[in-house]
Amino acid sequence: LSFAFVNLKPLLPGRVLVSPRRRVVRLTQLTDAEAADLFVTAKRVACTLERVYSASGLTVPLQDSFDAGQSVPHVHIHLLPRHPADLDHEGGPDAIYDHLEGEDGDPRRFLAERTRKRPR
């Protein structure tokens, strides 16, 4: 009932999206079985992402409508592997989004800089 796929331009390494096969815009439009499968699939993929990317946690957003920030009119869950240093840099836990905006939004550079600053 659900499937997972990798975004061609991921915000962070390892970003995966999970979506129901039936195209609906809102979470509330899914049947109970579809909603359950969506979240069970997300959980399974999350376990794999944590292992493969040595992640200590995940950011798991679901924007449920255009007004909630949904840019593609189809329910989907984002899974973004996170690490302790993601919260240790200047600007707080969401500073990476500032670096992703605008002309110098280069997540690879940001992550490389963050890794260099990480205390050993």
Catalytic residues: 76
What mean pLDDT comes out for the span 19-38?
A: 97
| In a shared domain, residues 34 and 70 | yes
What mean pLDDT comes out for the span 9-17?
A: 84
| In a shared domain, residues 109 and 63 | no
| In a shared domain, residues 75 and 22 | yes
How many degrees, rounded to 5, is the angle at CA 12 between CA 9 and CA 13?
90
What mean pLDDT comes out for the span 55-72?
A: 89
| In a shared domain, residues 60 and 107 | no
| In a shared domain, residues 90 and 48 | no
Percent pLDDT > 70 in the chain is 72
Higher pLDDT, 106 or 19: 19
Which domain, by its residues, includes 57? 2-82
What pLDDT does residue 113 have? 64
How many degrees, rounded to 5, is the angle at CA 48 between CA 43 and CA 54?
120
Residue with tokens 């924007």: 63
| In a shared domain, residues 108 and 118 | yes
Query: Residues 61, 78: contact at Cβ < 8 Å?
Result: yes
Write down the H helix ranges in the chain.
Answer: 32-52, 95-100, 107-117
Higher pLDDT, 118 or 28: 28
| In a shared domain, residues 70 and 101 | no
Q: What is the amino acid identity at position 34?
A: E
What mean pLDDT comes out for the span 101-114?
A: 56
pTM over 0.85: no
77: nearest Cα among 17, 33, 32: 17
Higher pLDDT, 98 or 48: 48
